[in-house]
């Protein structure tokens, strides 16, 4: 093969794949040619260098804007010298000339570069292990800290835990998924930068989701380190047998392990381990709030932001996890007479079968509350939480750090979407269906179930059925029950229990890109669940992407406002933006919150955020009737 017949290769941003594939291609199709160079790893060289009669071509970065790689022939190279070249290239060149590189206590990490919304270059390290793979004997067990590695860890691929759910009818993801992503502005990638850290816990009803659901492109225009984590979800993360066999909350314990990783390693990426703010949306918001009650999380974070969920939400804590564990086991052909045998059997089943059977639960048919979610564990030093959050709040037994919580103005649109095939049934069988829909039949005396249903219908719908004419009243009902009541109650109780400030907001801003379309809503009914995250994160997994200049002037203004309050809160626990004085919630006062609306952003006060007094008048034992778990090994 002549030198002038070698093709000049154009390298993309991440040249590794192109050059490796080229090396394999040339080695396969040209018996006398082997290519080594930038991005080629040891495995490729081992394969390619096997034949003795190969000419050697070295790929070197060329000059110019596109960094073309130019192949040039090298003569008289012995195999021993070639091996030395291979080692040299692996140590010095496989990272790529422009790739970000960090050395941690665990080992060396290679990332790649991305661009922020504002055009700033930032380093992305995607797929760093923080725990051992939770597979085989480690399934359903507490996470085990990741071990150090040799060589260079290629952190350029994000991970997804096994999941099935809304919009995901067939299983995706891998059980080996306990990885996290770290993002930092390129000019701040230094262990002396000491930037505030924002750690994101994704939502998804404890059943779906991964770190990519909240992209960093907006946040990377500010000087922070952003961490997004995976944790086990569905039955793999939240199965509980209510005893010592599987106490539950593995997903939350994964989060604790990730927070420990941040304490030990984030300084290497320019982060300040003494300034960590945990942030979450929906189920992630519940997780954030639950960390305030866990002794395992003490000292691992310093502020928290919950968007669209709190630990007092009626969907936050599973009241009958053993029943769900038995149902799942039976559906997979496992015996359920002993929790030990039940778990032993489930450990032998394919992960994708477990999460598929976990999602298609009879409870999903009634109403899509998560069949597997956080639980109150039996008392044990290793328990994430061993008492009900309400009781812990009332007693003041919480981590005393600032908390910011909020919700959208029409959260209940989500519930109506989930009920879209059951509205007729709800109207026809209100007394029977409503207790399931509102998840209250287990907290009221059986003799009062129907009476409560009648009172709710009278209060919200004036005795009418749900129709287009009173759809806003139905949205108000579901917003109150599932989001606004617990926001009001949680904020007041935490303001009373803690010395640190508590801030709340209601997001009523109608932005250009709303989440209504995800809920199948063709007419605008309000600001739906999760919309308050859309101008803080880029949401590629939901079909929301960005390009510079696409946001309207109004959206741009609200985005900057959100970035201001989140980054200032992460800095010193006070949400600050130009022209806004955000007053904290006070227990004995009117409920004070920041109202974010199209017309203006202003402080607002109400006697009650939701219809608190009406719900207090109902004979519901929401918190007083907390179900305690069993201490038995046998069922």
Catalytic residue numbers? 282, 411, 529
What are 91-100's contacts with CB under 8 Å, separation 24+? 93/37, 93/38, 93/39, 93/40, 94/16, 94/38, 94/39, 94/40, 94/41, 94/152, 95/152, 96/14, 96/15, 96/16, 96/38, 96/39, 97/38, 97/61, 97/67, 100/124, 100/125, 100/186, 100/189
**What token pair was written down for 15?**
């040249």
Instruction: Tell which residue, 330, 319, 398, has the closest CA to residue 362.
Output: 330
The answer to whether 405 and 289 are in contact (CB under 8 A) is: yes
Q: Which sign does the torsion angle of CA 611, 617, 621, 623 carry?
A: positive
C-alpha to C-alpha distance for 633 and 246, rounded to whole angstroms: 10
- Spatial neighbors of 466 by CB under 8 A, at least 6 apart, are 423, 426, 427, 474
Instruction: Tell which residue, 387, 466, 394, 463, has the closest CA to residue 424.
Output: 466
C-alpha to C-alpha distance for 337 and 635, rounded to whole angstroms: 6
R_g (Cα) of the chain, nearest Å: 27
Q: Residue 521 in 3-state DSSP? A: coil
Q: Residue 277 in 3-state DSSP? A: strand
C-alpha to C-alpha distance for 514 and 526, rounded to whole angstroms: 9
Kindly state the helix (H) or strand (E) to which residue 273 belongs, with its residue range: strand 271-281
Rounded to a whole number, what is the largest CA-CA distance in the chain?
93
Kindly state the helix (H) or strand (E) to which residue 435 belongs, with its residue range: helix 430-437
C-alpha to C-alpha distance for 601 and 532, rounded to whole angstroms: 14
Instruction: Tell which residue, 169, 258, 266, has the closest CA to residue 208.
Output: 169
Instruction: Tell which residue, 103, 112, 125, has the closest CA to residue 15.
Output: 112
Q: Residue 216 in 3-state DSSP? A: coil
C-alpha to C-alpha distance for 349 and 352, rounded to whole angstroms: 8
The answer to whether 419 and 314 are in contact (CB under 8 A) is: no
Rounded (5°) CA angle 597-601-607: 85
The answer to whether 343 and 241 are in contact (CB under 8 A) is: yes
Beta strand 502-508 pairing with 591-597: parallel
C-alpha to C-alpha distance for 434 and 411, rounded to whole angstroms: 18
């Amino acid at each position: 093969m002549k030198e002038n017949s070698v093709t000049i290769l154009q390298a993309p941003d991440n040249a590794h794949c192109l050059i490796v594939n080229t090396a394999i291609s040339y080695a396969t199709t040209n018996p006398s040619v082997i290519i080594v160079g930038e991005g080629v790893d040891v495995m490729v060289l081992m394969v390619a260098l096997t034949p003795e009669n190969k000419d050697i071509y070295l790929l070197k970065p060329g000059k110019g804007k596109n960094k073309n790689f130019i192949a040039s022939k090298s003569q008289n190279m012995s195999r021993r010298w070639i091996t030395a070249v291979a080692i040299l290239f692996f140590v010095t060149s496989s990272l790529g000339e422009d790739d970000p590189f960090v050395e941690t206590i665990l080992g060396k990490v290679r990332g790649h570069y991305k661009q922020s919304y504002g055009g700033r270059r930032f380093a992305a390290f995607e797929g760093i292990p923080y725990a051992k793979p939770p597979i085989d004997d480690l399934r359903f067990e507490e996470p085990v800290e990741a071990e150090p590695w040799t060589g260079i860890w290629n952190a350029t691929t994000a991970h997804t835990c096994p999941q099935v759910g809304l919009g995901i009818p067939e299983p995706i993801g891998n059980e080996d998924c306990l990885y996290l992503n770290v993002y930092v502005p390129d000019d701040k990638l230094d262990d002396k930068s000491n930037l505030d850290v924002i750690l994101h816990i994704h939502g998804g009803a404890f059943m779906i989701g991964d770190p990519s659901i909240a992209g960093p492109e907006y946040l990377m225009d500010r000087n922070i380190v952003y961490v997004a984590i995976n944790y086990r979800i569905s039955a793999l993360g939240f199965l509980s047998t209510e005893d010592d066999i599987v106490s539950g909350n593995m997903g939350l314990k994964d989060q604790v392990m990730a927070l420990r990783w941040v304490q030990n390693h984030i300084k290497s990426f320019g982060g300040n381990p003494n300034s960590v703010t945990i942030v979450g949306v929906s189920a992630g918001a519940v997780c954030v709030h639950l960390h305030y009650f866990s002794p395992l999380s003490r000292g691992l974070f310093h502020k928290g932001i919950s968007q669209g969920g709190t630990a007092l939400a009626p969907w936050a804590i599973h009241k009958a996890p053993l029943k769900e564990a038995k149902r799942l086991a039976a559906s997979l052909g496992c015996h359920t007479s002993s929790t030990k045998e039940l778990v032993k059997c489930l450990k032998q089943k394919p992960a994708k079968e477990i999460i598929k059977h976990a999602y298609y639960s009879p409870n999903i048919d009634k109403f899509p509350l998560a069949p597997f979610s956080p639980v109150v564990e039996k008392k044990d030093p290793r328990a994430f939480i061993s008492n009900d959050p309400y009781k812990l709040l009332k007693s003041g037994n919480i981590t005393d750090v600032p908390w910011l919580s909020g919700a959208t103005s029409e959260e209940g649109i989500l519930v109506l979407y989930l009920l879209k095939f059951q509205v007729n049934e709800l109207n026809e069988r209100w007394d029977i269906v409503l207790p399931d829909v509102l998840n209250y039949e287990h907290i009221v005396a059986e003799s009062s179930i129907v009476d409560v249903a009648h009172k709710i219908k009278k209060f919200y719908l004036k005795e009418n059925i749900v129709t287009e004419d009173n759809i806003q009243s139905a949205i108000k009902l579901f917003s109150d029950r599932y989001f606004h009541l617990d926001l009001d109650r949680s904020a007041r109780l935490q303001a009373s229990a803690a010395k640190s400030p508590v801030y709340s907001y209601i997001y009523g801003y109608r932005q250009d890109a709303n989440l209504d379309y995800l809920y199948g809503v063709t007419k605008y009914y309000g600001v739906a669940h999760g919309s308050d995250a859309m101008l803080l994160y880029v949401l590629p997994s939901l079909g929301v992407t960005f390009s510079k200049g696409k946001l309207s002037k109004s959206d741009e203004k609200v985005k900057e406002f959100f970035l201001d309050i989140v980054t200032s809160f992460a800095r010193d626990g006070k949400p600050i933006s130009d022209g806004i004085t955000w007053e904290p919630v006070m227990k004995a006062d009117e409920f004070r919150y920041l109202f974010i609306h199209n017309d203006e952003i202003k402080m607002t006060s109400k006697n009650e955020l939701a219809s608190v007094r009406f719900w207090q008048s109902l004979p519901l034992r929401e918190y007083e009737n907390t179900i305690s778990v069993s201490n038995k090994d046998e069922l």
